A and B are shown apart, each in its own frame.
Chain A
Amino acid sequence: MVEVHDVVDVMGASMEAPTNQQLIDFVIHEARLIDQHRLDEWLDLFTDDGIYWMPLEWGQTDPKLTTSLMYEDKLLLTIRIERLKGKRTYSQKPKSRCHHVLQTPQIDKRDEANNEFVTWTPMHYVETRYDDQQLYAAWATHTLAVVDGKLRIRLKRVDLVNCDAAFGNIQLFM
């Protein structure tokens, strides 16, 4: 019998220093969790002080004294995810769906001494609701660390190619 292979099995194995392939698999797996609406599992990928950041400005360096589209810690991400489950979440009746197409993540940094690994991933992201389908192009930068033998996200930064454009609702996670 052939076992269905989900990279989550790879994620389950304890590690000390991740291989490049493990970093790549992690980033691809993370996008898959979002596409499959497995958002509780997705949130668990973040460290306790992990941040999801979507800058508003091209090349933005300051997340707090410059406005961002999103700059959210685990509390704010939890609120978003719990809200999506609610009965009175009107903007999600009907629900949105999303779809990622990633280029192979590139390893920008391997700093084993400081437990910091950075990947860079160009991607296209589609969000749909009703008859409306929006396409976004972005670069995802993941700052990862090994915590208790598992890869975790310290910072996921999503830079939209048109970050300063006027958007309608963007309701899920890129």
Chain B
Amino acid sequence: MTRYRGNVEAVRNLVRETEVHRDVYIDDEVFALEMEHLFANAWIYVGTTIGAQPVLMVRHTDDSVKELHNRCPHKGTRITTDTCGNTGKFFRCPYHAWTFRTDGSLFFIPLRKGYENTGLETSHASEGISPVRHVRNYRGFVFAKLNDTGPDFEEFFGESLSSIDNMVDRSPAGRLEVAGGVLRYMHNCNWKMLVENQTDTTHPMVAHESSAGTAIEVWKKAPPGAKKPMAVEIYAPFMAPYEFFENMGIRVWPNGHGHTGVHHSIHSDYSAVPGYFESMAAAYGEERAKAILDENRHNTIYFPNLMVKGPIQLLRLFKPIAADKTLVESWTFRLVDAPDMLLERTLMYNRLINAPTSVVGHDDLEMYERAQEGLRVDANQWINVQRLYDPSERHDATAVANGTTEWQMRNQFRAWSKFMTLSM
């Protein structure tokens, strides 16, 4: 039975002003439509997939970054399964040795005479590995859009790019390097639950009482005067009172982007790392260095499925696999020319908070999986996103609000509705 395919009204009706229907999380057809429409009309942060489709990213001979659909035009074999490496001047399919330039164009077919007078030149295969048409490399972060519909890169992201800017500017050299390894964490829940959680500021002191609260209690038994360890600095702010999160502020931007931590965040009070400010001041001047480091944005959502954490140089990518299955990848970066201690802290944060072995992650995943099951209840089929709603709230606005508002969640669902139906 198809309820949503070919029925744009039914898709629109899933999102109301302050509530959303459970089918956005649990329905297989809605998930399939997300992959076909939402993930094709929006700009998606890329590495090896866009939605459900395998892609590959390669630096071409002219130094530009190309994004290619990762299938041989011949039989469909994935051209590469490596997550990184150097292909040399060409890609060579491992099945029949068809060879392609790094812009995807066909270079060589063995035993080519077998295609003489067959009209190969008018086939899909002769076009080589199809490139993704819309690709943008923004300060080393590569985004792509599959469809021609939808806004261009600048219009789509607008001012939200300032969070990536701040993360990169935190390097005295203005450059990041991928470092430390990638934590991969499988979640049996819908990808949007994870995205919403990133700006959910009324859950930490509840769901994470068992981890952060215990960390505080255990640390209380430390000998007086003992220096607070990095791990306690990382855990403790999760237990900050509601007022802390109310006052931190949330900023929303058009097209579903937004961030927590406008005024301060859980990352504001980390100990200074010796030598870091000095090297920043030498690179930028004292005033500019201070401005860069005073920005303590907590989580920035790049709609639909990326979160960036500038102050600790980390991003999380929520990769949809099925309506009830999401792979979370947590990537970390080294600030080029900054002390190693910063990377050490970044990696400690990543393993304490984002690893499959993380006591913070355990309780989050427990909440998502309980929700994925709870949504089977027929008696109530709606999810509430009403906190601090004001009927005069503008759609697609730039605004700053109380840090416990669910405006950003509403913002995401309005964008969801927009980019889902744009090509229907």
Chain A interfacial positions (CB closer than 8 Å to B): 54, 56-57, 64-71, 75-76, 78-80, 82-83, 86, 88-92, 164-171
Contacts and interface: CB of A to CB of B under 8 A. Distances in A.
A71 B344 CA distance: 12
B340 interface: yes
Contact of B210 (A69, A70, A90): A90
25 contacts: A54-B357, A65-B180, A65-B340, A66-B347, A67-B332, A68-B347, A69-B351, A70-B357, A75-B218, A79-B218, A80-B359, A83-B359, A86-B210, A90-B207, A90-B363, A90-B366, A164-B184, A165-B184, A166-B185, A168-B185, A168-B187, A168-B356, A169-B356, A169-B362, A170-B357
Given A79-B218, A91-B210, A167-B184, 20 more contacts: A54-B357, A56-B183, A57-B181, A64-B347, A66-B180, A69-B351, A70-B351, A75-B218, A76-B352, A79-B214, A82-B217, A83-B210, A86-B210, A86-B213, A89-B210, A91-B363, A167-B356, A168-B186, A170-B357, A171-B362
- Of the listed residues B188, B231, B359, the one surrounded by the most CB atoms of chain A closer than 10 A to its CB is B359
B132 interface: no
Contacts of B26: none
A87 B361 CA distance: 18
A54 B358 CA distance: 12
B367 interface: yes
B218 A71 contact: no
Interface in B332-365: 332, 340, 343-344, 347, 350-352, 355-357, 359, 361-363, 365
Given A69-B351, A83-B214, A166 B366 contact: no
A67 B180 contact: yes
Contact of A64 (B215, B344, B362): B344
Q: Which 8 pairs from chain A and chain B are nearest by CB?
A: A166-B184, A91-B362, A167-B356, A91-B366, A89-B210, A67-B181, A67-B180, A83-B214
B344 A166 contact: no
Nearest to A163: B181
B224 interface: no
B300 interface: no
A67 B356 CA distance: 12
Contacts of B350: 67
A37 B352 CA distance: 22
Contacts of B356: 69, 166-170
A53 to B, nearest CB: 11
A17 B356 CA distance: 38
Nearest to B183: A67
B273 interface: no
Interface in B174-206: 179-188
A67 B314 CA distance: 12
Nearest to B83: A164
A75 B228 CA distance: 11
Nearest to B184: A166
A52 B218 CA distance: 18
Contacts of B232: 75
A146 B215 CA distance: 30
Contacts of A57: 181
Contacts of A79: 211, 214-215, 218, 235, 359
- Of the listed residues B186, B187, B229, B362, the one surrounded by the most CB atoms of chain A closer than 10 A to its CB is B362
Contacts of A64: 344, 347
B14 interface: no
Interface string B290-311: 0000000000000000000000
A83 B351 contact: no
A170 B361 CA distance: 10
A82 B179 contact: no
A156 to B, nearest CB: 14
Contacts of A68: 347, 351
B318 to A, nearest CB: 13
B327 interface: yes
Nearest to B330: A67
Nearest to B221: A78
B342 to A, nearest CB: 11
Nearest to A172: B357
Contact of A83 (B211, B343, B352): B211
